[in-house]
Amino acid sequence: MQKYNFTPLALKGAFLIDCFSADDIRGGFCKIYEENIYKENGIEFSLSESFVSCSAQNVIRGLHFQLYHPQKKIVSVIEGSAWDVIVDIRKNSKTYLSYYSIELNEKNHRALYIPEGFAHGFLALEDNTQMLYLCDGKYEKENDSGIIYNDSKINIAWPIEEELTIHSERDLTLMSLAEYEQIYLNK
């Protein structure tokens, strides 16, 4: 049995979470979220919505966030494997534009807590990778936005050759970091 472990990341407010899990001859069990345990570890989170995305191998989703009324998120992989990335896009943060990446998969029982002010994306490392999202805050389609995954100023080292990646049309037309800074940070 593995108990919860919360590891604060260098990106202030973000945590890597080793979730409660147990395995026996029947199979396994993993608890990703329990309100009281999160509060005891300094994370205030009120579940507003949850959903699962399913991705083919080599799909990159992101880097997504809401421009106004940002959501907090807890993300975990419930099937398959993903290389998950969070980017600090908080204007006055000491770690502005720094990113953190880690492999999340169905076997390591890990989750990332992503506070407000971060962009999120991932690369599916296997077919049928299912990412679970728990969100705090209302989804607002008109504020749903993002920064292009390969922006050179952020310079994420995705563990895949560029020509093998698969993207939605929407993700390929996300703004650059320069556009984000000009439009939203210079107000």
| Residues taking part in catalysis | 64, 133
CA angle at 77 for the pair 71 and 81, rounded to the nearest 5°: 130
